[in-house]
Each structure stands twice: as structure tokens, then as C-alpha cells.
Structure 1
Amino acid sequence: MSRLIDPILLRTLTAVVRSRSFSRAAEQLSLRQSTVSQHVQRLEAQLGRRLIARDTHSVAPTPEGEAVLGFARTVLDAHERLERTLAGGAVQGRLRFGASEDFVQTRFAEALRDFRASYPSVDFELSVSFTQLLGEAVERGDLDLFLGKRRVGEAQGLLVRRDRLVWVGLPSALPERDEPVSILTFPAPSITRAIALEALARESRAWRISCTCASLSGLRAAALAGLGLMVQARSLIADGLQELAGTDLPRLPEVEFILAGPGLQREPSRTLAHDILHADIWD
């Protein structure tokens, strides 16, 4: 190759692969979908390789695309760390961040560590609650940014990724066909709780709530004890548990993970949002 690769093209490629969608990548990058397509085409032309395989149903990297993606993440990480190191030392103040309970059990700490390295002088306040309550805190001016969930089709926030809700637990907790489903759930106003109960009601499936707990670690303990089934996003299944499909269990819809709040438009919380968007915290 006779010239360097534009990091902007690499950033677009990683967004398309991560979101598995040109339209969702455009939303994350604040670009038009046609611009995202042009970026990928320019990168493919420069490298002389097809990087993205796409049809009417799916978008996925080719083997060459997977190889380029690994290098792209290294280049982008170094580029962004340099920019933030040069700009971050003088930034002081406070960042008030909220996260729904599900995410605290993931590799979310890695995104926080990267943020701390870029902004060592910023005081960080973390609130853990349900998405609805976090949204209300933003409206009151008590939070700058939060990471939460929304139903597919809702407009709140910036889309991070989409995943399917599934039934989770131990196989021994699966009910017989004529038995009610024992549910382990967060209290209201949990989105996953509402979706699970709506799905059961639509199919007239008998159920009972055998455990309510505001802590994910508490629900995991109840599930490991075989007390019932919980509902989680497939990418967030807790250690020791597994996705279950059993007699008359209704299929659950997808849910979307989002970032929301005025911090999306200003530093230093905009940097944290960027770290979350580009971190593999669900893997």
C-alpha cells in the first residue's frame, strides 16, 4: 500500500462489525448510512479485500475482515489514548454515571479503567439502579450519563447493541407442562420483569414469582439453588447458569442497550460513552 489507512475508515468498520448493521453503525457514529457504506467501500478498495459479507438478513465480517478488525482496534486504541492523554490532564470536575444492575457484573470495569487513565483528575460517582429510575435521575439533573436498556422500537438514548432476552437457570428448575413457571426477578420497574410477565400472559402460561431481589448476585444465587428461572440478555448470562428452553416457555423478544443523558454531548462523560461503545464488555 502506498499510503496510510485513515483511522476514520477503521472506526467505521469496527462499528459495523460490532453492531452487525450499517444503520445502527450510522446511528452510533452520527453519520448517514450512505456515508458508512462509502467508508467500508473505500477501505475495501484500498486494501484490495472484501471485508464485510452482507445480504438482506445479516452483516458479518469476512475472514479478511476479522484479520483487519484486530489491527484496527489496536490502531484506534492507540490513536484515541494519545488524544485523550494530551487533552485529559487539565480536565477536572465530577462525572455522575448510572448503570443498570445487569452491567455491573460484566467487564464494565475495563471501560472505567480506560476512562480513569485518560481523566485521572475527574471524580467519579456511580449509581446502580433500574433504567427507568436512572432516566428519572437524569431528568432531575442528578446524573450526567447512564447505561441502561430499552424495548426495541423506543427512541430513548444512543443504541449500544441489541440482544435477545432468554430464560436462564438450571435444567432442574424447568417446570413440567402443567406446572407454573417459577420466576426469579428484579422488582418493578424492571424492564426484563415487565417483558417476561407480558410474554407469559400472552400465552396464558401459569407463573408465580418465587424470588424478588434488586441485586443480580442475589438472583443468581437463587437460580443456582434451583428456585426458579430468571430472564437475562443472552450476552449477560451469569456464571454457572445456562440458557433454557422448556415446555411452554414463551419466546422472549430482543432488548436494546443504550447510553443516555446530557453527558453524550460533553466531556468528560462523552469519553466514557465512547469507551463503552467500543469495549467488548459483554464478551
Structure 2
Amino acid sequence: MSNHAFSSSLPDITRESSINTRPRINEVGMKGIALPLTIHDSKGIVIASTAKANVTVSLDDPHAKGIHMSRLYNLLQEHLSNKVLGDIRLNELMDALVLSQAGLSTSATLSLRFDLTVSRPALVSKTAGYQHYDAALTLKSDKGKYKTQLRINIPYSSTCPCSASLSRQALAEAFQAQFENKPLDTNVISEWLESKQASIATAHAQRSFAHITLNLIDSAVPDFVDIIDLAENTLATPLQTAVKREDEQEFAKRNAQNLMFVEDAVRRLHDAFSTYYQATHFHVKVEHQESLHAHDAVAEISGSINSR
């Protein structure tokens, strides 16, 4: 028997049909496919070079046993592997995923997850370092209609307004006890404020996260760094990478100038993204990982993008 004759006789049970009606399956496919996929920022700098893909299609044929799963995998390799994300016609890929099932499916979903590695400058000095941001781009095709959604997680620092107020009160009481009935000499006061004696209390800060979801206008690749910049500039206290002492001091100043409860942070982001040009709808969840409590504080908000 020739090799060709042998391969042509291999069974394909996904082609088996049944007179029994089976329920429709909303999504079936594969998860965690590794892809060498390049993402550039607006200046052409590489900010991601790998991705993990989840790909599914619907199984609408009530008599079909299963989908042609290997076809999904092969299409991802053909359209995405070793490609630049901005050069890919994503709608064509979504159409191809549905067509590959030869009438079994009417919808497809593709989720690309990646770590964006972005160079971030220090606050004052000329140093810089790399920050990573978890992101996912999800595309859905349903009977020729397309939806694209971006999710990105942005870390930042938040200082509790209540804690800052209590710290100021403690410092004021210590100052009054130190200088009551004494002549006020600015040099003496300055020396005292710089001494360990003035370290009466410190406002507590915590690492925090903004989880931002945007329903995009079309399937074009969004400007990831522009979105990160908008969020970080809005919150004003982004986490730092490479720092010198002057950067650390500036970071402390910014935290003092931008005291935030979760309610404050989520409202700031609401105002920033309510007019964002690349999206039609947004959802923001902020999480302050408490240093005072054993539990965390969270807040969520969403809205439609205002037309201009």
C-alpha cells in the first residue's frame, strides 16, 4: 500500500453526522497558542514580540460532531506568525476563521494577549527604564459584523487622603509641643522639620491598578502607548522604573499632591476616557492594594464615548 493510499484512509470523525439534533455550541476552539507576533508603537519601536492567542468558533450545525480545529491553528500561523500586528488585516482573518469551518460556524472570536514593554522616563533625571503592561485585544465576528475590544492593566501609586490628613495633624501637634512659648526662628524650624524628630507619621500609599476596557471603533490596531500615557498622566503617580534620589523625591511630592481614594481615581479616569477618540464605550476598574488593611479597595465605572 502506498503512503498516499494510507493517508487518504485515515478517519476524520469530525465529518461524522447524526440524525440526532445536537445543541448549538457558542464557542469551541483552542487556548494559549504561542505566536511570534510583533507590535510597534507610533514611533516604530518594538513594544511586544510574542503573544498568546485564544481562538474559537461557534458550532451551529445541529448534526455536526465537531469543528475542524486544526484549520484554526493553521490560519493563525499563516496570518499572524512573525508578522507585525499593525500590518495585519484582522477582519480578513476573522472571515477566514469562519469560512474554514465549511458551513459549520457563523461566528468567531480571537483574543491576543501580550505584555507591552514600554520605555518610561524618570520624573526628573535623564534616566529611563522599561515598564510592562498586561494587554489583550479581542476580536469578534458574527455573521459579518465585527467588534474589537482592548483590555489593558496600568499600575500606579495611590496615597490615602485620610491617612495624609491624620499625619498632618500629628505633625502639627508635635510642632506645637516643640515650639510652644519659644521664639519662632525659621532656621531652627527648618532644621527640626528635616530631623528625625519631625517624622511623626507617614501617610500610607499602596500599589494600585487601573483595569481599562475599551470597545474600539473598528478593527484597526489601537495606539497602546497613547492609552497608557492618557491614564498615567490623568492619575499623575505612575510607578517608576530607573530612579535617582531627585526622582524619588518628586514621586513623593506627586503622591502628596494627588491624594486618591478609589472613588477619586475612577472618576478621573472616567473624565479622561469619556472623550477618547479610538473607542465607543469604556469600562474602568481600579484596585488599591491596601497597606493599612488586609483587604483591598475597588471601584468600577463605565460609559459611552461622547461624540464631538
- The interval holding the TM-score normalised by the smaller chain is under 0.3
User: Over alpha carbons, which structure has the higher Rg?
Assistant: 2
TM-score between the two structures when normalised by the length of structure 1: 0.21
Question: In proportion to residue count, which structure has more strand?
Answer: 2
Which structure is richer in relative contact order (CA contacts within 8 A, separation 6 or more)?
1
